Amino acid sequence: MRSVDVLLKELTLEEKISLLAGQGLWNTKAIERLGIPSIMITDGPIGVRKQTGGQDNVGLQKSVNSTCFPAGTTVACSWDPELLYEMGQALGDEAQGQDVGVLLGPAMNIKRTPLCGRNFEYLSEDPYLTGHLAAAYVKGVQSRGVATSLKHFAANNQECRRRSVNAVIDERTLREIYLAGFEIAVKESDPATVMSSYNRVNGVYASENGYLLNDILRKEWGFQGLVVSDWDATNDHALGLKNGLDLRMPCLSGKDARDMMAAYKTGTITEEEIDTAVRRNLVLIKNAVENHRETPMAFEDHHALVRKLAGESMVLLKNSNHLLPLSRSAKVAIIGDMAQNLRYQGGGSSHVEPYKCDDLLKEIRMLAPNADIRYAKGYSLERDDREDALFEEALDAARTAEIAVVFAGLPERYESEGYDREHMDIPPVQNALISAVAGVNPNTVVVLANGAAVTMPWIDQVSAVLESYLGGEAVGGAIADILFGQVNPSGKLAETFPADLRQTPAYLNYPGYQDRCEYREGIFVGYRYYATKGLRPLFPFGHGLSYTTFAYSDIRIDKTAICEDETAVVSLSVRNTGSVAGKEVVQLYVHDDQSQIPRPEIELRHFTKIQLEPGESKTVQFTLSFRDFAYFDTDSMRFAVEPGSFTIFVGPSSADLPLQVSLTVTARQKIRKTYTKYSTFGDIMADEEAWPKMRALAMKDPFYNMVFSGNFQNVDPAKLLAYNLLKELGDTDTIGEAALEQLLTEINP
| Gyration radius from the chain CA atoms | 29
Residue 57 CB, nearest distance to ligand BGC (Å)? 3
Positions of E strands within 486-532 = 516-518
Label residues 374-392 b or e (16+ Cβ within 10 Å = b): bbbbbbbbeeeebeeebbe
Assess contact for 380 and 303: CB atoms under 8 A: no
Q: What single string gives the DSSP state of each residue in 352-389?
A: -B-S----HHHHHHHH-TTSEEEEE--S-TT-SS--HH
Q: Are 552 and 650 in contact (CB under 8 A)?
A: yes
What H or E segment, with its residue span, contains residue 74?
Answer: helix 72-75
42 CB-near residues (< 8 Å, 6+ apart): 26, 48, 49, 50, 51, 63, 95, 98, 100, 102, 103, 104
**What's at 304, amino acid-wise?**
A
Half-sphere exposure of 616 (CA within 13 A, CB side): 14
Q: Which residues bind ligand BGC (CB under 6 A)?
A: 43-44, 57-58, 104, 151, 230-231, 349
CA distance 218 to 667: 27
All residues at 6 or more sequence positions from 579 whose CB lies less than 8 Å from its CB, including other chains: 548, 614
Indicate left, alpha or beta for 637 from its phi (over 0: left) and psi (-120 to 50: alpha). left
Examine the residue annotation and report whether 230 is marked as an active-site residue of this protein. yes
Least distance CB 352 / ligand BGC (angstroms):
12
Of 93, 230, 246, 420, which residue is the catalytic one? 230
Which CB sits closer to ligand BGC, 60 or 637? 60
Give the bridge partners for 646, in sequence order: 592, 663
Q: Please give the Cα distance from 607 to 150 (Å, whole number).
A: 22
Residues sharing a CB contact under 8 Å with residue 739, sequence separation 6 or more, in sequence order:
697, 700, 729, 730
Strand order in the sheet with 331-335: 315-319, 464-467, 444-449, 403-409, 331-335, 372-376
Number of CB atoms found within 10 A of residue 334's CB: 26
Cα-Cα-Cα-Cα dihedral sign, residues 97, 100, 101, 104: negative
H-type alpha helices, 427-526: 428-440, 475-483
Q: Which residues are catalytically annotated?
A: 230
